[in-house]
Amino acid sequence: MKKIKGFILLIFICGSVGAGVMAQAPNQQGFEIMKNLDIYSNVIKELNQDYVDEINPGELTQTGIEAMLESLDPYTNFIPESQIEDYKFITTGQYGGIGSLIHQQGDYIVISEPYENSPAVKAGLKAGDKILEVNGKEAKGKTYEDVSSILKGQAGTTVNVLIQRDGETKPFEKTITRENIKIDNIPYAGIVGQNIGYIKLTGFTQNAAKELKQSFVKLKEGAELKGAIIDLRGNGGGLLNEAVDIANIFVERGQEIVSTKGKMAAKNRTHYTMNPPVDLNIPVVILVDRSSASASEILAGSLQDLDRAVIIGQRTFGKGLVQNVVPLSYNAQMKITVAKYYILSGRCIQAIDYEHKKKDGSFGKVPDSLIRAFKTKIGRTVYDGGGISPDLITKPRKFSNLAMALYGKYFIFNFATDFARKYPSIIQADKFEINDTIYNSFLEYIQDKDYSYKTKSEQALEDLKNIALKENYFDAIKDEYDHLKIRMEKDKQEDLKKYRSQIKELLKLEIITRYYYQKGKIIAALQHDPELQDAIATINDTEKYSAILAGKYVQPKPEIPEKVEDDEESPVE
């Protein structure tokens, strides 16, 4: 980060935040701006003077600003002083707090997952602990955001929490000393298959490239690597320069990686690798999915354009917008979309056209008719139109409605809490499995629980009934309807057997997290990961790997997803 004139910070980013130069309004719009600011000022004054009730000018102003920015793209945001720490966390991966994920369960906030060696763990907090009070104030009925903001704070300060733990009759109080919590960009790196390095990269905050380089070098020193797998699944992005520096590990110095193009010439910039590479020859596979966004797409897309890595998974999110953060008065800031980014082949991977809003207020995606073909460095055909389409496309894993109901209603979470209370330890994360005894215990646990869910077939049947009622046909089909409904309910009773493997997998990961934290969860998940197995097989099959990079595999023209979700996640406490 470096200072420039006007104390404006300039860090180009492609994920959640960055810093940059405030764009000046065109001269012809100057009068309109001043006129409307004057009107706004008069509106606030009149409301303050004459409105029947007392108003809060600050809240009204923030509401007005946020409504204005909502008419633009989702990434242009106002950042009040109270949220500055949350945005710092997104860029640095650090914040002051107790170091634990939390979630809302009914009227209470519950500890989800304390980070290993965090203040929460040092104070003895465990997953499943219910927070009754924070600093003497009742937490019941408070939102996730309410409690999270209190748990956060300057390192070295303390926070008092009153905890209710299942299995203990009385609540107990803990005083926790906050620390600077650093969320690792790389929660796990290790060897998979036969001497293949695996690195899980979850963010692109400061030093992500340094951390990945260190992990890669350490893996090389420990084994004669046949290949490297970088897992970007679920990685929503971060700092652009970190993506460029990570690509630099595998490509020559001086190689163009990505360029940014905006309305103002000052936003047009090309980013090149600047460091000596670590390994130019080792086979590389990048794993991606629908949640791989922004900096993840720059890294995957640039290595694809350079024919330096094979991409495996699903089409990525499609966020090709660059934000700068501009300092405002009174410690507020604003994150502004200032440019789009283009990878080496010339592709812009932005999926949604936020510049042209439809009459209904929605935004359109790039139509198939406008998707264009581009060429990689050696001449392979790739396409724009939103996101990076993998060289080898896999189907995303889908869990049944039953499994998601059990997970979403916290029955799996609560069973794992109960399990961890009964058993102080388990075997290593890569060897632990849910046996029949544990699974049958879970079935007993949910016997009196409401885990009702609706299948697609039931929803379709209900839709049919509603249509038939409107058209006065239902009486004629009522007997068939009732018969189908009974059959479906009977079939659902068999779902606990049908989806046994899915439920066991979710139970396994939740229980392992209680003992081995996030690292153990990743290790366990890799044991039965079909996409990881695809990556290992691709590296081991040197002919296939070479054929893909030589363009002998024809990449089909991709389909653009109908709906693209926002990739920005709420910061966690």
Active site residues: 294, 305, 319
Q: Can you tell me the distance from the alpha carbon of 319 to that of 1, in angstroms, rounded to the nearest whole number?
A: 23
Strand partners, 180: 96
Q: Can you tell me the distance from the alpha carbon of 269 to that of 259, in angstroms, rounded to the nearest whole number?
A: 6
Q: Can you tell me the distance from the alpha carbon of 2 to that of 8, in angstroms, rounded to the nearest whole number?
A: 9
Residue type, 101: L
> Closest by alpha carbon to 412, among 497, 496, 510, 494?
510
**460: enclosing H helix or E strand:** helix 456-470
- 141 in Cβ contact with 132 (< 8 Å): no
Take residue 460 and report the two structure tokens written for it.
């379709």
Strand partners, 266: none
Q: Can you tell me the distance from the alpha carbon of 321 to that of 294, in angstroms, rounded to the nearest whole number?
A: 8
Q: Can you tell me the distance from the alpha carbon of 295 to that of 164, in angstroms, rounded to the nearest whole number?
A: 41
For residue 144, which phi and psi values (nearest 5 degrees)? -55, -45
User: Crossing angle for the helix pair 436-445 and 411-422, nearest 10 degrees?
Assistant: 120
Take residue 53 and report the two structure tokens written for it.
């009730």
For residue 355, which phi and psi values (nearest 5 degrees)? -75, -25
Q: Can you tell me the distance from the alpha carbon of 337 to that of 321, in angstroms, rounded to the nearest whole number?
A: 6
